[in-house]
Chain A
Amino acid sequence: GQQVMQIPQYQHVQEGEDFTTYCNSSTTLSNIQWYKQRPGGHPVFLIQLVKSGEVKKQKRLTFQFGEAKKNSSLHITATQTTDVGTYFCATRTGTASKLTFGTGTRLQVTL
């Protein structure tokens, strides 16, 4: 089945530093969704990207979909402790409405 790899697995930053997680696939993706899971919580939808080269922003978060639709990134500017959690990318698999999730990037932010 389709696989999406995420890097890094874990990143520890100081508050105020930037953070980026990358999602890569060997095949062309029809779309990318990003989710955030706080420690002990459940994944919460952040955004969906569909078009080649698409860039979307949500306050300090910037999401990009690659021109070839094989990779995506999530960039957080000036991290805050509220950004702590694991960020997952996910992509639709086949014709059914099911998602394949990436392995996730765990972000730790300290003061």
Chain B
Amino acid sequence: DGGITQSPKYLFRKEGQNVTLSCEQNLNHDAMYWYRQDPGQGLRLIYYSQIVNDFQKGDIAEGYSVSREKKESFPLTVTSAQKNPTAFYLCASSIQGSTDTQYFGPGTRLTVL
């Protein structure tokens, strides 16, 4: 079954703790992305990666970090430096190209207490 998986669906953490969100895809896509969505808001790009071992900051990268050691995986770490981490986090992937469709995972809802 091809697609993008994100785990867990819901995540609770205490303030001051780092937390890593998982994103895996078996679509053989080169490009992967992380977005943040707040209630009633659009999607804001955190980080993206066009190829293994390379990634770029998006519009709101502060307080986040990523790695892309494997083509299939693009984990996102929400660090304690992120001031308002509670949000819905969406991972997406696409075939490398300028106008390619993005396929989204089911998302992880992170709540920091």
Q: Which residues of A contact B (CB under 8 A)?
A: 1, 30-31, 33, 41-45, 48, 50, 88, 90, 92, 95-104, 106
A106 to B40, alpha carbons, bound, how many Å?
Answer: 8
Closest to A95 in B: B98
Write 7 A-B pairs (CB below 8 A) sorted by A numbering: A42-B104, A42-B105, A43-B104, A92-B98, A92-B99, A101-B42, A106-B40
User: Interface stretch among B12-20, B68-76, B77-85, B89-97?
Assistant: B89-97
**Is residue B31 within 8 Å, beta carbon to beta carbon, of the partner chain?**
yes
Contact flag A96-B56 (CB < 8 Å), given A42-B105, A45-B102: yes
Known contacts A98-B33, A106-B40: does B99 contact A44 (CB below 8 Å)?
no
User: Hey, which chain B residues are within 8 Å of A106, CB to CB?
Assistant: 40
Supposing A31-B99, A48-B99, A101-B42 touch, asked if A96 and B48 sit within 8 A by C-beta, the answer is yes
Tally of A-B residue pairs with Cβ under 8 A? 59
Whether A44 touches B102, Cβ cut-off 8 Å, given contacts A88-B42, A97-B96, A98-B48, is no
What interface size band does chain B fall in? 20 to 34
- Known A1-B59, A103-B42, A104-B42: A97·B106 in contact at CB below 8 Å: no
In the assembled complex, the CB of B38 is this many whole angstroms from the nearest CB of chain A, namely 11
For B48, the closest partner residue in chain A by CB is A98
- B65 at the binding interface (Cβ < 8 Å): no
**B41: CB under 8 A from chain A?**
yes
Query: Whose C-beta in chain B lies nearest to the C-beta of A93?
Result: B45
Q: In the complex, what distance in Å separates the CA atom of A88 from the CA atom of B44?
A: 12
Residues of A within 8 A of B31 (CB): 97
Partner of A96, one of B50, B59, B92: B50
